[in-house]
Amino acid sequence: MPEHPWFVIEPEDDDELELTDEDRAFAAALRERTAGWAEAGVDGWLDRTDDALVACLSFGDPEAPLHLIDVGLHFYGGRVRGDRLHNQLFFLPDRPSVWALEATGTVDELADRSAGWFRSVLDKPVVLYVWLNDDRYAYAARFAYADDDQTIGQLYRKDLAPAGQAEELIAVGHVHGKGWIQTVGLPTPTLYQHVRGDRSRAVVPPGARAVTQRGPLQGVWYE
C-alpha cells in the first residue's frame, strides 16, 4: 500500500463534506482501482461541490516549487464528468478538453471508467518548452501536454524578450486578459525537457533541442 494512497475518506470528511452513501461507495471503488498508482509528486484527494463529489489529482514541477495542474472528476451519482479543474474552486471548464470524460452507469461502472481515465491522464506526456534570447536569456517558458499541445502553464518576460516581439504578439491576438502573452504564438522553442508521462506519445516542434537539465525560470506563471 502506498504511503499516501489517493481518494481516502478521512474521519472528518463525513461531516465536513456531507458525503452520501453513493459518494462513499464510489470513493471506495475508485480508491481500490487506483491502489498502487500513487507516486511522489502527485496528490489525490476528495472534495465536494453543492451537487457532486470531486476526486482530484494534482501535480507540480518536479524541479521547482511550482504547482502545475489539477485534473479530476465530478461524480453525480449515476454520472461522472472529468477534465482539468479550476485550481481553487475545482469547477469543470465551460469548454471541455479533447481528453475530457463524460459517462453514465452504476457506481462500479463509473469507477472503472474513472480509473481508466485517470490512468490515461497520468500517462499524457508533459514537456517544458523554453525560449532563449541570444541563446542566453530565458524569456519565455511553457508547460504543455505534448500529445495535444494543450497549455498547462506559461510565463513571458517582456524585459528579456527580443525587442518589439510582445507588441507583435499582442497585435495578432496572442494575448488574454490584461496583457497575458500566449506563448503558442512564439516561434519554435529553443529547447524542451520531458517532465512526466509517456515520452513516446510526445510530439514536439522540429528544431527544439532536447535537454535533461535546466536553469532557474523566473517570472510570473499563468495559464
| Better-predicted residue by pLDDT, 16 or 22 | 22
Count Cβ atoms within 10 A of the Cβ of residue 131 and give its class: 0-12 exposed, 13-18 middle, 19 or more buried: buried
DSSP character string of 48-99:
E-SS-EEEEEEEE-TTSS-EEEEEEEEE-SSEEEEEE--TTT-PPPSS--TT
The pLDDT of residue 183: 98
The H or E element spanning position 31 is: helix 21-33
Q: Give pLDDT tens digits for 140-197.
A: 999 999 999 999 999 999 999 999 999 999 999 999 988 899 999 999 999 999 999 9
- Confidence class of residue 1 from pLDDT cuts 50, 70 and 90? very low
